Amino acid sequence: MNRRLLLMPAAVLSGAVLLVSCGGNSATTAPIGATSVPAGATPVATTPAPTTPAAVTPAVTTADVATPIPGTSLAPPSLTPDPVLASKFPATIDGQPVTGVQTGLYSDIIRQFGGTDAEFQKAVAMFASIGIDFNRMSFGTASGTVDGEAVQLEALRTPDTDANKIVQNYAMMVGGLDASPPPPPTMSQSTISGKNVAVAVSSEGDTAVLYATGDTLFLLQGTTDSQTAKILQALP
């Protein structure tokens, strides 16, 4: 399993990744089996044919109701945005626009995607142990196209604190909120596109590249060497 971001409980993490894919937009399509009745109209009862029931067509409405996140019963949560973190994502990468920038407090994501109080307190303690205030941390994502393929950027911001603290303790913190954390990754240092980065390789062979700049940590996973180099070149 490629544990994206690697610091959230697996169940919470799945929801956060789905938030990225759904974009947090309002719904325009009702759930399958719903019907649309104009205001003031009286619904007309119908009886399906005994042998060949009529196919049910999803009704299209303009109701301002949040679309459930695919594979869950959750709607996209309301997150407290971090405009400072949003501004750190580049406008373009590899000549293509960066889109879908979303940010929110890390604590909001834990709470709103089903994280327990115990997990929340564990996160507070884990980050406090390395000098980071978990309640102020924010999480951000954005999408881009590099070498003709879709890529996802992820970032953490630790206001007034050097994000290198996470890099230095990353192996210890991986899966730190899971009940059964995975073995720690193997860490190494590298220079890519003139930037000093850390490279984490999990026991399953998944690779994450971590680039800290000031109070912000960018995390790249699932990218090729060429894509990684072009993304890092575009980062501040």
Q: Check if the beta carbon of residue 192 is closer than 8 Å to that of residue 215.
A: no
Q: Which amino acid is at 121?
A: Q
Distance between CA 128 and CA 144 in Å, rounded? 33
pLDDT of residue 182: 77
What is the SS3 assignment for 215? coil
pLDDT of residue 164: 96
| Contact residues for 83 (Cβ-Cβ < 8 A; gap 6+) | 103
Name which of 104, 29, 80 is nearest 59 in CA terms. Answer: 29
Name which of 199, 186, 206, 179 is nearest 10 in CA terms. Answer: 179
Name which of 231, 78, 76, 68 is nearest 155 in CA terms. Answer: 231
pLDDT of residue 23: 47
For the chain, the domains span 10-22+69-234
Name which of 15, 218, 7 is nearest 122 in CA terms. Answer: 7
Provide the terminal-to-terminal Cα distance of the chain, rounded to the nearest Å: 30
* Rounded mean pLDDT for each run of 10 residues along the chain, 236 residues in total: 49 49 38 38 47 42 37 56 96 97 88 79 90 93 96 94 94 76 88 97 90 96 96 97
- Biggest CA pair distance of the chain: 71
The number of residues making up the chain comes to 236
Distance between CA 200 and CA 197 in Å, rounded? 10
Its pTM surpasses 0.75 = no
Handedness of CA 106, 107, 110, 113 (dihedral sign): negative
Q: Which amino acid is at 59?
A: A
Tokens representing 178?
């899971």
pLDDT of residue 8: 55
